[in-house]
A and B are shown apart, each in its own frame.
Chain A
Amino acid sequence: MKTMKVRSIAIIIVAVGACSANDPQYVDCGSADAMDTCTLDSANGSAVGTGDNVSFVVTGSLHVPVIPANSSLQKTTAALQATLPADVVVPTYRLDMYDLSVEWVVTNLDNKDTTAAVALNAANEDFAWDPGMIMPAGDEAPPPPNLQGDIPFDVPANGTISGEFTEDNLLEAAIDLDQITRGNINMYAATLNVNKNDQSFQPESAEQAPPPGSDDPPAQTPMGDPVPRSAFRQIVRVDLALIPTDSSVHLTLTFDIRLRPQIADVVDTMGMNAPAAQLMIIDPPDFVPAYTP
């Protein structure tokens, strides 16, 4: 009888443990922020960029439903801050708190084959990345990079194409964004290198324009202490861009965020349908490098 009780308790513990795993939460546009957009329509697109870098783009944003920093969140932030140098600012929403991925579907509403691309950008609690805001100095400079995606694909007439920015993609995007905005790391270098396994990065001085009479910008120098992975900023807003090759073809893009919390009490289980007062909706300023080669 005792053995039966022990086995029964073990089964219950396993069952409860299985139920409490970090199950995903699917975040759609809700009532908390009317500016969030989960469906993009190419009819609402516009041309961005200059010169050879002009492209037709329609963009939309969806927030991660993070909750305001409660006492528990503040305590863990303060405890981590106490272990780090003062010039390494520990963010409230950190990389190890939740994982994100984005699923999307592009639908061609016209009876004409076309091509399109989907690009992902993002914001953390301090900066947003919008390549459309950046004007590279050189005439022949490549366009400012998106954090992820921007790979053209065929969309058949009246067809549907689905895709996903995986958790690895969003992890890379979060680290690239932090490296570009906090570390002053060159945007091309940050986005072209694989940084998702980086344990730290060294902030550098801001990029400067070449001195008069020279084509080479001055070298960047290390500034302050390295930022450890535990203090990397996580994404709090996802910005998606639909980039049709032919602006005359009517396309729509629908997307959502798949969120997996790794700790309790960092996101609201009601998603963006939670009352606005329960959420921390962060729209930081766009980051613009001091100089872009």
Chain B
Amino acid sequence: MGSRVQVTVALGAIMGLAVGRASADDLIENQPSDRAASTGFFAEGGLSAVSFLPHVNHDAATGPGLDIRIGRDLFSWLSLGIFAAASMHQATLPPPPEGQYFQLYRGGADARIGVRFNTISLFAEGGVGAALMSSNVLESVMITKPGERFSIQFHGGAGIEYQLENRHYGIGIAVDAFLVPQFAEMKAIDGRLYLRYTYGGG
């Protein structure tokens, strides 16, 4: 009987300690709502995959890309920026040519509006710019016209960003769709994983 009392007291003590420790942790934990994020000038660099939508997807394969972006947070919910992106694709049109690659360069300006929930922010973005195709390899399937290498391009999309403990850094995933009217109304999806650095401490 005496030993049962001892065991019960010991378990109660352990549980009490455990509860007490949890309470202490709550006090010192860096709560998500406390996580700071800088606003101001920012730069982003990302790796992407660009996949064309019908009808261009028959003649050009999904390819890897790079994205860079610099901009300025005007408010915590609105930023303006300029971007440059390059992606490389295999031309899969009926041969000849066969096994050839081309690069698609894009650049322009866009706006981003977002809302932040603790460490996570959601945003939508859209803009306009120019696109340049490195060669006329898609001319034989009439995606580009003779001598045509440039086009205007429009893009829009959304993403999700996670704020790291260092208030200058965030990582995110974004998916944009873009339209290139002069290239036979080429449509594509650009999905990217990026790292963002925000200058300043505002």
- Cβ of A276 < 8 Å from any Cβ of B? no
Judging by beta carbons under 8 Å apart, are A23 and B135 in contact? Answer: yes
- Cβ of A151 < 8 Å from any Cβ of B? no
- Cβ of B20 < 8 Å from any Cβ of A? no
- Cβ of B147 < 8 Å from any Cβ of A? yes
Q: In the complex the two chains form, what is the Cα distance from A18 to B66 in whole Å?
A: 13
Instruction: List B residues 128-183 near A (Cβ within 8 Å).
Output: 132, 134-137, 139-140, 146-147, 149
Judging by beta carbons under 8 Å apart, are B95 and A26 in contact? Answer: no
Judging by beta carbons under 8 Å apart, are B70 and A25 in contact? Answer: no
Q: In the complex the two chains form, what is the Cα distance from A268 to B147 in whole Å?
A: 8
Of A19, A24, A25, A30, which contacts B105 at CB under 8 A? A19
Q: In the complex the two chains form, what is the Cα distance from A15 to B86 in whole Å?
A: 9
- Cβ of A162 < 8 Å from any Cβ of B? yes
By beta carbon, the residue of chain B nearest A24 is: B135
Q: Which residues from chain B contact A104 at a C-beta distance below 8 Å?
A: 96
Q: In the complex the two chains form, what is the Cα distance from A28 to B95 in whole Å?
A: 12
Chain A 79-111 near chain B by CB (<8 Å), digits 1 or 0: 000000000000000000000000111000000
By beta carbon, the residue of chain A nearest B102 is: A23
Task: Give the shortest distance, in Å, between B153 (CB) and chain A (any CB).
Answer: 15
By beta carbon, the residue of chain B nearest A8 is: B70
Of A24, A30, A269, which contacts B149 at CB under 8 A? A269
Q: In the complex the two chains form, what is the Cα distance from A183 to B147 in whole Å?
A: 38
By beta carbon, the residue of chain A nearest B84 is: A15
Judging by beta carbons under 8 Å apart, are A162 and B98 in contact? Answer: yes
Q: How many residues of B contact A (CB 8 A)?
A: 26
- Cβ of B123 < 8 Å from any Cβ of A? no
Chain B 86-104 near chain A by CB (<8 Å), digits 1 or 0: 1000000001111010110
- Cβ of B68 < 8 Å from any Cβ of A? yes
- Cβ of A47 < 8 Å from any Cβ of B? no
- Cβ of B43 < 8 Å from any Cβ of A? yes
Judging by beta carbons under 8 Å apart, are A105 and B147 in contact? Answer: no
Of B84, B139, B199, which contacts A26 at CB under 8 A? B139
Instruction: List A residues 11-52 near B (Cβ within 8 Å).
Output: 11-12, 15, 18-19, 21, 23-26, 28, 30
Q: Which residues from chain A contact B86 at a C-beta distance below 8 Å?
A: 15, 18
Q: Which residues from chain A contact B100 at a C-beta distance below 8 Å?
A: 24, 26, 258
- Cβ of A73 < 8 Å from any Cβ of B? no
Judging by beta carbons under 8 Å apart, are B147 and A269 in contact? Answer: yes
Which A residues form the contact surface with B (CB < 8 A)? 1, 4, 8, 11-12, 15, 18-19, 21, 23-26, 28, 30, 103-105, 162, 254-256, 258, 268-271, 273-274
